[in-house]
Copies of this chain bind each other. A is one copy, B any other.
Amino acid sequence: MKALVFENIHTLPNYTDIEISPKENEVEVNISAAALNHRDIWITKGLYPGLVPGTIMGADGMGWYLGKRVVINPGLDWGHNERYQSKKFRVLGVPDHGTFAEKICIPQSYIYDAPDHLTNEEVAALPVAGVTAYRTLFTRAQLMQGEHVLVTGLGGGVALMAALMAKAHGAKVFFTTGSNEKLQKGLQLGFDGGINYKEENSIEKMAEQCGHIDVIIDSTAGEGLNTLMKLCTFGSRIVLYGGSLGKINGINPQPLFWKQMDIMGSSMGSPSDFQAMLDFVAKHRLHPIVDSIYSIEAFGKAFSRMEEGSQMGKIVLSLPQ
């Protein structure tokens, strides 16, 4: 079959022939759609640990198994502790064969029924972004109805998913973005307020819009976190699921302890988180935002779009049927 195979760092993967067959505990799923994550870019740049040349890339995927539409949980070997993953935990797609292929061989326990109300491409957009967003908001921050949520960097898959989920849960949702185009798109999606953080006095504008913030969902960290924290009220939770802007500096401990705040780290999610995410998406009939769809042969364009960072939502690869 054809698949996108990781071979070397600093180049795109090869779209090439590769044969795989199920191990004793595995079944075959025919992949219909897969989606890109930042992780895929980091892998091609050699910025991810445990890279094994010759393995099929891709964490997000949906397809067919025994005549049913299914979605794959990309969090492998989480283990039995809900609080954190085991040492064996890894994300699907390098070093294990992933979803950028006509089929995948995987233990049946990672296969879940796809939500009926979603297109194939929307299902493929769910796994990594959905489980990450769900865990940050609910398992970690324990979001309550009516709370004020601030999601940073709205264009990203997790950020959009978190914003949609928070809104569906009855929260007021505010966001930051670095582009006026995304600002307009975010407001059109019905969120309660947003700012372009590159503009002057953007924090003051956000403060006017939101009054206060109870929960921040962020994947940047860096110098800006301290500024965002000034919006936070008593009992607020800041959940970090990434740190693209590097080290956190300048955090004033006084509001942190006096306001009984939490800064929480979160990464991916457990099988329970994954099932709860699917149930939440089905219950609220949420649609993940798909930015664009490319045939797998045009993966180069998909990777470029991801690297440029101009996407609003998930970039999906369509597989030949």
A residues adjacent to B (C-beta < 8 A)? 81, 83-85, 221-222, 234-235, 240-243, 246-267
Measured CA separation A241–B85 after assembly (Å) = 28
**Given A249-B250, A265-B262, is A257 in contact with B243 using a C-beta cutoff of 8 Å?**
yes
Interface contact B253-A243, CB-CB below 8 Å: yes
> What are 15 A-to-B residue pairs whose CB atoms are below 8 Å?
A83-B260, A242-B253, A243-B253, A246-B253, A247-B250, A247-B252, A248-B248, A249-B249, A256-B265, A257-B265, A257-B266, A257-B267, A258-B265, A259-B265, A262-B264
Q: Which residue of B lies closest to A253 (CB)?
A: B243
Residues of B within 8 A of A85 (CB): 234, 260
Highest count of chain B CB atoms <10 Å: which of A235, A248, A259, A261: A248
Residues of B within 8 A of A258 (CB): 265, 267
Residues of B within 8 A of A84 (CB): 234-235, 259-260
Residues of B within 8 A of A242 (CB): 253, 257
Residues of B within 8 A of A257 (CB): 240-243, 265-267
Q: Which residue of B lies closest to A257 (CB)?
A: B265
Measured CA separation A289–B243 after assembly (Å) = 42
**Given A256-B243, A257-B241, is A235 in contact with B266 using a C-beta cutoff of 8 Å?**
no
Residues of B within 8 A of A221 (CB): 251, 253, 256
Q: Which residue of B lies closest to A258 (CB)?
A: B267
Say which residue of B252, B254, B259, B263 sits within 8 Å of A262 (CB atoms): B263
